[in-house]
Amino acid sequence: MFWENSMEKLRVIIIDDEMLIRKLIRMKMDLEGLNLELAGEYQDGADAVEALDLVRPDIIISDICMPEVDGLSFSEKCIELFPDIKIIILTGYDDFDYARRGIKAGIFDYLMKPVRADELNATLKKAADEILKLRLQKAKQKKLLEEMERNIPALRDIYINRILLQERAEDDIEKELDKYGVKVNTGKDRGIKVGIIAIKESVSQLGLTEQIMEEAKSFYQSDDDIIVLRDHWNRIVAVTDSMDVPFEECMDILISIIQKKFHCHVSAGISEGYPGWNSIHSAYADALDDMKKKHGTRAGDAGTKETEFYGLWGELAESVKNGSVEESLEMVERIFSAPEPSFPEQQKKVMICCQKMYADLEVNQQKVLFDKMLKWCCTMDQLKRCADNIISELLIRKKLECSCRNSDLVVRIIKYMLENIRNEKLSLNLLAREFSISTSYLSRLLKQFTGRSYGEILSDIRFMRMIELMNTTRMKDCDIGGQIGINDAHYLSIWFKKISGYSVTEYRKNMNISPL
């Protein structure tokens, strides 16, 4: 029960004009068992009303008929002052008019005289339970409100990022901004300006943007007219809706501070003034164009090919967050479609992007099955295959978090495949029998959740396990084949070359693995 978990005792007072009745009630109350404290006894309602503010009782036991102030009049006055108090009325007769008036007054319960101990304690327990239940609800509501208060800046930034990218403005932008604590300027100097700062080094130094963001927030902390946030491409964005603010001068000073303190390369752009919040997308695009003119970059780019690459990974992370399988895999295709002269550099960048994505999605890197494969890739095709697998794994995790239908089943199927990869008889038919579903339904499920077929998933699990064993053990190739369900050495050689583009010997040479 609620009262059993409460350390603080609830306070009870007794009101009756007869001392004997008060003593009998006191004797019948199980104060210790109910975690109650007797806070006072009064012979009439007038005395009790005067003491209410000082005593602050939680429960009142009152006679219905008393001189000066009767029990119901007292109850009405008491509940008016303290709405949460529970009042138990004692009456010697069953009067319907009194009962009806008592219900209107907010009386918690009635007890007939002479009061039985079991009825009294049962009613007290019910009142105590209700009081503590209400307090628990209020505590939860308070905690929720405090949490919402803490999250308002993050929710504000999410909303502003959304309207930055919307060509067609929403009708109620200013109303929405008010929800997130943004004081919209309604004066004659109202308008909108956007400034953008892109840091070249932030794409390879994951914590740098966070440090610079804190510096920018500190710089603008006393300026209520300026909001600072990060956009989807990890650029710092400053927004003001006051045309009287020396916005350009402030941006120049901030850029100078960033360059001196962090020794980094900065690209920046500032928009012209626009009519108001409904024009924020136009101001944002104008700031990007200004950055292009000043630094020779394309609108939407932060100055280098690297930034475009990392920007695509940012979009990929959003697609994964939204649980969009097709869109996510299309993004991987776009990322790897651009020619990259240096494989080691591309491998390094993919590893950095995956780390950032894990952080954004709040995923433990150690638990991402295919992540360890990244360092064992030696071709662009292998790197893309590995990225495909990582994205598929993250998508399944996302759907599981959202309690999507059949997500738990898909997880159990893939777990079964991992645990039984040594079984050369592992097949679509075997899986279908194991999980009591048809092969066609199983194929559709895997495609729906991962964007890939059963055969592709099986090959990738086998390939991952094989290169892991090649890089971490001294096992012979034929023994490794037995560990992944391929016992035919000739077929293993053909299969490995088809998957990786290299023979086993060539792969070992590229990875500097000693031949056995």
Position 37 scores a pLDDT of: 94
Q: Comparing C-alpha atoms, which of 496, 304, 101 is closest to residue 87? A: 101
Q: Residue 219 pLDDT more than 50?
A: yes
Position 223 scores a pLDDT of: 86
3-state secondary structure of 243: coil
The Cα–Cα gap between 98 and 91 comes to 10
Start-end ranges of CATH 3.40.50.2300 in the chain?
3-136
pLDDT confidence band for 4 (50 / 70 / 90): very low
The Cα–Cα gap between 277 and 287 comes to 15
- In this prediction, residues 227-248 reach a mean pLDDT of 91
Q: Residue 274 pLDDT more than 90?
A: yes
pLDDT tens digits for range 286-298: 999 999 888 764 4
Position 70 scores a pLDDT of: 65
Position 299 scores a pLDDT of: 40
- Asked, as a colleague might, if the bond just before 275 is cis with ω within 30 of 0, I would say no
Residue 389 CB contacts under 8 Å (≥ 6 apart), including other chains: 369, 370, 373, 460, 464
- 391 near 332, Cβ under 8 Å? yes
The Cα–Cα gap between 195 and 490 comes to 62
Q: Residue 372 pLDDT more than 90?
A: no
Q: Residue 266 pLDDT more than 70?
A: yes
Strands of the sheet containing 109-112, edge to edge, are 36-42, 10-15, 59-63, 86-91, 109-112
pLDDT tens digits for range 30-44: 999 999 999 999 888
Position 34 scores a pLDDT of: 94
- 239 near 284, Cβ under 8 Å? no
Enter the tokens of residue 302. Answer: 């932060």
The CATH class given to the 3-136 domain equals alpha beta
Compute CA 359 distance to the chain's CA centroid, rounded to the nearest angstrom. 12
Q: Which residue has the higher pLDDT, 422 or 165?
A: 422
Position 193 scores a pLDDT of: 96
Percent of the chain with pLDDT over 70: 90
| 171-175, 281-285, 328-332, 336-340: least confident range | 336-340
Residue 33 CB contacts under 8 Å (≥ 6 apart), including other chains: 121
Q: Where are the beta strands (DSSP E) in 310-423?
A: none
How high is the mean pLDDT of the chain? 85
Q: Residue 2 pLDDT more than 60?
A: no
Amino acid present at 452: R
Position 269 scores a pLDDT of: 94
* Token pair 């009439």 in the structure block, residue: 44
Start-end ranges of CATH 3.30.70.270 in the chain?
165-297
Q: Is the pTM of this model over 0.95?
A: no
- In this prediction, residues 58-75 reach a mean pLDDT of 77
pLDDT confidence band for 336 (50 / 70 / 90): confident
Q: Which residue has the higher pLDDT, 265 or 356?
A: 265
Residues in a beta bridge with 116: none
Tell me which DSSP letter residue 207 carries: T
pLDDT confidence band for 92 (50 / 70 / 90): confident
Topology, domain 165-297: Alpha-Beta Plaits (3.30.70)
